[in-house]
Amino acid sequence: MLQTNPFSILSEVVPTFLMQGFIFAMIVLVAAGTIIQLIHGKNLTYFFNNAKKAKLRATKELGFGERTSVIAKTAVVDIGTTSELGFGKRRLAHVLGMYGTILFWISSTVLVFSYTGAGKSNSEFWSLLWHIGAILTCLGGYWFWFFLRVDVSAEAHPWYRIIKADLFVLALLACSTFGLAWSYTQYSGITSLSYLFLVLFVISNLILFGGVYWSKFAHMFYKPGAAIQKNLAEADGSRDNLPPPADAPEQFGLGIKREEPKHY
């Protein structure tokens, strides 16, 4: 099953151009939802205004090489490894979910456009990546949802409490879960369940990509921008109008030692 392209089998019933059109439609929904959210939430205006203020407060003019170095380091360390979460279970869950999702989306696009349709050969490599991506997304996502959510661990809310901010992670988990279930039932020849999971897979994708405006999906795009701006501000001395670190040891008192930090 892991080396079988589920889209290739589906192409016997659904024309390939419809699958390709669906992917294009999802890209348009993401772009439109992100732009609308940025404009409505005035995030773009904030970033531009903040960049202008930082330029006026800068104590050092960064050259092209320095800027490139800061941006590259931010992309590799801060964004690529989610270093802001520190070391621990929460960071590992996010990394699993992030790279699993990237693999899942990229391999879906490659399989549909390059290995699905009449006369197209199968790619065991990309099919394997598709399944691995979905599995990693489920591992990281379910681990986060059931065991690591802050409001559950620290605020004693039940795990089934759902708010609008949860739309992204739940839709993402639904996509990966129903995708795997569809692939398995299709490969096993369980036709009725296969069509059911396919419909659920399509619906969960529509919710995920069509709900960008209401979910945290857009954070995937402007959070990296905020991280880059923050590190550039550190490098040029503007520091987002914050004072420099105090040259003194951190002192929190004995109370902080009563319980080891485990929630955040």
Structure tokens at 101: 């999702």
Structure tokens at 124: 């065991």
Judge whether residue 264 has pLDDT over 60: no
The CA distance from 201 to 109, in Å, is 15
Coil, helix or strand at residue 58:
coil
The domain ranges of the chain are 6-237
Structure tokens at 249: 């040891």
Most confident of 47-56, 59-68, 128-137, 186-195: 128-137
| Residue indicated by tokens 């279930």 | 181
The CA distance from 28 to 209, in Å, is 9
Structure tokens at 34: 């992100």
Judge whether residue 245 has pLDDT over 60: yes
**pLDDT value of position 131:** 94
Q: Is pTM beyond 0.85 here?
A: no
Residues in the chain: 264
End-to-end CA distance of the chain: 38
- pLDDT, tens digit (0-9, with 9 covering 90-100), for 5-32: 888 888 888 888 899 999 999 999 888 8
How distant is the alpha carbon of residue 149 from its chain centre? 16
Structure tokens at 92: 């590992």
Structure tokens at 104: 């899942």
